[in-house]
Amino acid sequence: MSIPQKAIKHWPLALLLLAIGYVYAGIIDGPFVFDDHNAIVQNRAIQIEQFDTQALAQIASESYLPTRFFANLTFALNYLTSGLETRSYHTVNIVIHALNAILVYLFLGQLLRSRPELVKAHVLRWLPLLAAALWALHPIQTQAVSYVVQRMAELAFFFYLLSLVLYLAARRANTKRPRGALLSLAVLSGLLALLNKENAATLPLAILLVEWFFLQQADWQWLKKRFWVLLGAAAILLFAGLIYTGGNLVGHVLDGYQGRSFDLQERLLTQPRVILHYLYLWFVPLPGNFVLDYDFRLSTGLLSPLTTLPAVLFILVAVGLALRYAARFPLPALSVLWLFLSQTIESSIIPLEIIFEHRMYLPSVGVALLCALAILSIPYRHASAAIVLLVLPALASSTQARNQVWTDTLLLWQDSATKSPSSPRALAQLGKVLMDRGRWSEAVSALKKALALDPGNYKIHLNLAAVYANMSEPDLAEKHLLEARTIRPDSIAVLYNLSHFARQKDRWRESKAYLQQILDADPKQPLAHDLMALTYERWHNNTKTRYHYEQAIAALPGRPHSYLLYGSYLARQGKHHEAIALYEQALARVRHFPAERERMKAELARLRKAISRK
């Protein structure tokens, strides 16, 4: 039995997909970390019970980062099928990364087939695959893949490259009908990219770049005659910015710096050094070089630090040389321009945080292309093969090693705090993890260090208050709680903690006042309604007790805790039939939370047995 030629042709790609699965298998049961909690765990909008138009409207309008609708939709579908069990979320991320590797392979293959004269036959065959492998197995991608919320970056990449693949296919189509259909799909894919992350707004410029380099052979006369196309692409970029900022781009940018520890000038001066650091990570991909939370020194002037001016000059020279030699060396020139174009939004005036490794997910395609071209251009093929056989396993091993820290929140924040000892966020997050694990003295140490670096951070005060309360130090707990209230009196987290502290002191009316403030700010807070119900039960106000439990269930019907509290209350009131009906309703609506479902079943059995005895 003979093996089909197509299967033989594509076996290396299949091997790459297996390698991706292997190096990321270790994080399949990894926890939610950092912004995963905002985007998924605490995001009521994506915690849907059924998939319908109401759920879609809820995801579109109430989600964390609602402009990233498509990514939020995938989180909602994950929740619908498996609740907050992390395995399904990580599996989807890994699958998307594998699909993206295929798209890199297809995209670069299309580019080379449009101008096969640029490279030798063996380069034409192997460059797309090698570039895809270098890109997919590199440890710089771990933050985009292993950090669940960065599915936003993965999906933006997917639709970005898919749009380019469709565009190139349309340009090669022989008749109008398939060309029109492919172009329409390319536009749709571009719009979907924007619904995942804002850096996809550079897509029109990327299409123009590809058209000019590979279909117009870097002809400057063609570009000059179509200067309006360049203006149109820039206008699309500006229009996308206006949409995302509600028509107030300048105000949005300036306002965004109000809560930052850096200003617009410092960010612009620092970003060239950030880009060079990304390149350093690419070429020195040791696991110990990567970190989630950086303590990156800001550039306050062209010579402060001294590396600022050289970094600026490096980028200007690199872009200038790429444009100057675009016609003679289109592949290296495209690689360079791709790197800087795809950094345009996240390394510009937008008041984002200074540095995150996942921002290299799209730009690194250009670097992977350049590296693959360099390896395959070595005159001795055996030397090229030897380098590939050394580099790819080394990258895979480094990725596996880096992924180890993503398997445990304690490892992740210990790693960050060790590598960024002046980062208050890394120390604060480490303190919180230690607090959650009951390691009180270690938590106090980490949180105090964080507070010394950022004394105005109310969350650190809250966590110190919680730690001291568990260490039976009520005076210190109250001190930090009051400090948090002084800094952020309107914070829901602060109000919850104040309410809890008041209840511990048996000051129930004070506790109720804080809960009412929470509900005034957000009437759909299920925990606040539960606590209100417990308060009114203590005061024997059955009407308001029932009201608040019902409001808690209505606010988040898939949350089991309100059903359990309400059911216990009804049972204590002797309303066994009502409690049974409530638990039956809960078991039909709460699809996840296996431990809580078992408790409900046990309560049902107990209540039915109690009724049968009467």
* Identity at 276, one-letter amino acid code: L
Per-residue pLDDT band at 197 (split at 50, 70, 90)? very high
Q: Please give the distance of CA 195 from its chain centroid, rounded to a whole number.
A: 14
Residue written as token pair 């699309």: 236
Q: Determine the longest span between alpha carbons in the chain, in angstroms.
A: 94
Q: Minimal CA–CA distance to 310: which of 338, 276, 339, 343?
A: 276
Rounded CA-CA distance 190/587 in Å is 42
Exposure string of 238-253, with b = 16+ CB inside 10 Å and e = fewer, is eebbeeebeeebeebb
SS3 state at 230:
helix
Across 397-483, the runs of DSSP E, i.e. the strands, are none
* Residue ranges in 173-215 assigned as alpha helix (H): 176-194, 203-210
Q: Are 147 and 24 in contact (CB under 8 A)?
A: no
pLDDT at residue 511 greater than cutoff 70:
yes
Distances (CA, A) of 125 to 335, 415, 445: 18, 41, 57
Q: Are 156 and 136 in contact (CB under 8 A)?
A: no
- pLDDT, one tens digit per residue, over 44-62 is 899 988 888 988 999 998 8
Rounded CA-CA distance 556/87 in Å is 23
Instruction: Indicate the fold that domain 408-488 takes in CATH.
Output: 1.25.40
Helices 86-114 + 364-376 axis angle, to 10: 50
Q: Are 369 and 331 in contact (CB under 8 A)?
A: yes
pTM of the model: 0.91
* Residue 392: predicted pLDDT: 97
Sorted by where each begins, the domain ranges of the chain are: 5-32+84-404, 408-488
* Residue 260: predicted pLDDT: 86
* Residue 250: predicted pLDDT: 76
Rounded CA-CA distance 9/576 in Å is 68
- What is the pLDDT averaged over residues 431-439? 96
* Residue 216: predicted pLDDT: 82
- pLDDT, one tens digit per residue, over 378-389 is 988 889 999 999
- pLDDT, one tens digit per residue, over 213-264 is 888 887 788 877 777 777 777 777 777 666 666 667 777 787 888 888 899 9
pLDDT at residue 203 greater than cutoff 60:
yes
Q: Minimal CA–CA distance to 125: which of 112, 107, 137?
A: 112
**What residues does 304 pair with on adjacent strands?**
301
pLDDT at residue 180 greater than cutoff 70:
yes
pLDDT at residue 2 greater than cutoff 50:
no
**45 φψ region: left (φ > 0), alpha (ψ -120 to 50), beta (else):** alpha
